[in-house]
Amino acid sequence: MLTDAKAKAAKARESAYKLGDSGQLYLHVTTAGGKHWRMNYTYGVNAAGKPAQKTLTFGSYPAVTLVEARAKRDEAKRLLTEGRDPAIEKRVAVRARAQTDANTFEVVARRWYDLRKPGWSKVHAADVMDSMERDLFPAIGDLPITAIKAPRLLEVLQVVERRGAIETAQRLRQRASAIFVYGIAAGICEADPAASLGKALRDKPRSKKQPSIIDRVDSQEERLAVIRKLLADCDAERCRAGTKLALRFLALTAVRPGEIRFAAWGEFEGIDWSKPEKAAPAALWRIPAARMKGDEDRKAEEGGDHLVPLAPQTVEVLRTVRLLSGGLPYLFPSERHTHKPISENTLRALLIRAGYYQRHVPHGFRAAFSTYMNERADRLWREAGHKDASPDRAIIDLMLAHVPENKVEGAYNRAAYMPRRRELACEWADLISEGLEAPAEQLGKPIRYAATGPGRE
């Protein structure tokens, strides 16, 4: 039998030779001095009907030690006793290992994404991919999906938690779990390490009420006054005209800020853009169902577009905005990348610069519209001699596109009460626009303060 000392001392000769061990294992020494572990065995029959002679290689010495070579020989003999060819099993294992290495987390995640993307809205699809490219792929994207265990994935999610993004960490866990479930179904992996991590992450914080300028303001007159002042203060700020017009458009329509960000010119109806002096009494903004808040059924609902009747003041804002971005995909494009929408933080930043930090956020216009218009409707209804709540309350809910508990009723009401909705939109626009400059006055104003000299107080 061979010893490690004999294997180490073997030198090259004029012709290759073998140093035998036991059980058909031997060290093949080449004329160049290479030392390779091999094993001769028989499996099956050859063309002549005799046992087929085969040779199996186990690697080179000293990378593969004598002890390791014997272990590989014993495993090969075990396969032979089971009627399996160790050479074929070796090739199968190599291919399986190569396939495993090729099925990295990122590769499998992108396959899962391509499978699910057709059922998502454009906004949600972009959010899913952005979150993975930002937080998952840099950390574990190049690892074989079978090599990712729960502790490693938890480390990645805790990094996201430490920057304060608790909800993002929870969403990433859910997306990672969906990727592993897809991998299991596709035969790529056997377990979902993300499934058990929900309780290991911090609980999602309770959602805070979005601050609105009318909070703790009791009288209707004062509510209207603070809304008008807020809009005037923002108009007085030095920034791009498009940003100030976006804020006013948001205040007039009371839609969700995300619906403003991705507003596209093709969504508007009933406006003759070629005749700026022509009134547009039937002007309408049709927001696609896929961009609305709600579950996937809501987003895929046929005829589920949200209809926003536009007041004359809103149309005037649109006509002014069209001078700035009429040739671009979005009404309110990014300053640096005009094919992309403004950042989700742009309008909030304007409010902060105008002095409304933690006093009002873009979403706060919805609360302002709801509170003011509901109380106004109830007052007018009572003055007309009624004792119950105004029917305008349900109509205002429709205008705010609140997700109804009854989906069938919600679908039926998408376009209901349009004449009254238009009246309420015009009344709101008349109320909050009083005293404001015309939208066109924002064009050509300075957008920044000078680097030196007097600036904003």
The domain that holds 432 is classified in CATH as 1.10.443.10
Out of 134, 152, 386, 412, which one is annotated catalytic? Answer: 412
Q: Is residue 451 part of a domain?
A: no
Structure tokens at 363: 């979403």
Domain end point (choices 46, 75, 102):
102
Distance CA 324, CA 242 (A): 7
Instruction: Tell me, yes or no, if 256 is annotated catalytic.
Output: yes
Residue positions counted in the chain: 457
* Residue ranges of the chain with per-residue pLDDT less than 70: 94, 96-101, 205-207, 294-303, 403-415, 449-457
Q: Where is 211: in which H helix or E strand? A: none
> C-alpha distances in angstroms, 450 versus 232, 351, 447?
22, 20, 10
**DSSP letter (8 states) at residue 144:** B
In the numeric block, the tokens 């109806």 are attached to 269
C-alpha 434/C-alpha 288 separation (Å) is: 31
The predicted structure's pLDDT at residue 294: 57
Q: Is residue 211 part of a domain?
A: no
Query: Which of the listed residues 60, 77, 102 is the one where a domain comes to its end?
Result: 102
Order of strands across the sheet with 306-309? 268-269, 284-287, 306-309
CATH number at residue 17: 3.30.160.390
From the list 35, 256, 261, 376, the catalytic residue is: 256
Cα gap 21→65, rounded to integer Å: 13
Nearest to 342 by CA among 258, 285, 236: 258
Is the residue at 452 inside a domain?
Answer: no
Task: Flag whether 208 is in a domain.
Answer: no
277 and 412, same domain (yes or no): yes
Question: What is the number of domains present in the chain?
Answer: 3
pLDDT at 409: 47
Per-residue pLDDT at 292: 77
Residue 453 belongs to a domain:
no
Per-residue pLDDT, 87: 82
Q: Which member of 6, 293, 379, 382 is catalytic? A: 293
Whether residue 267 sits in one domain with residue 387: yes
Does 210 fall in a domain?
no
Residues 375 and 246 in one domain: yes
Residues 147 and 26 both lie in one domain: no
Residue 306 annotated among the catalytic residues of the structure: no
Determine whether 363 is an active site residue.
yes
Same domain, 355 and 224: yes
Please confirm, yes or no, whether 402 is among the known catalytic residues: yes
DSSP string, 212-264: -TTTT---HHHHHHHHHHHHHHHHHS-S-HHHHHHHHHHHHH---HHHHHT-B
Residue 449: inside a domain, yes or no? no
Residue 447 lies in a domain: no
- Consecutive H or E run containing 184: helix 166-185
- Same domain? For 95 and 113 the reply is no
Q: Looking at the structure, do residues 144 and 269 belong to the same domain, yes or no?
A: no
Q: Which of 363, 376, 421, 422 is catalytic?
A: 363
Whether 310 and 433 share a structural domain: yes
Same domain, 422 and 331: yes
> Is the same domain home to 315 and 329?
yes
Match 């976006």 to its residue by tokens. 246
Quick one: 260 and 372 in the same domain? yes
Q: Which of 235, 257, 247 shows the shortest CA–CA distance to 437?
A: 235
Task: List, in order, residues 6 or more apart from 308 with CB less than 8 Å away.
Answer: 253, 255, 284, 285, 286, 287, 399, 425
- Single residue among 54, 83, 102 that ends a domain in this structure: 102
Q: Let me know whether 246 and 298 are in one domain.
A: yes
> Range of 130's domain?
105-200
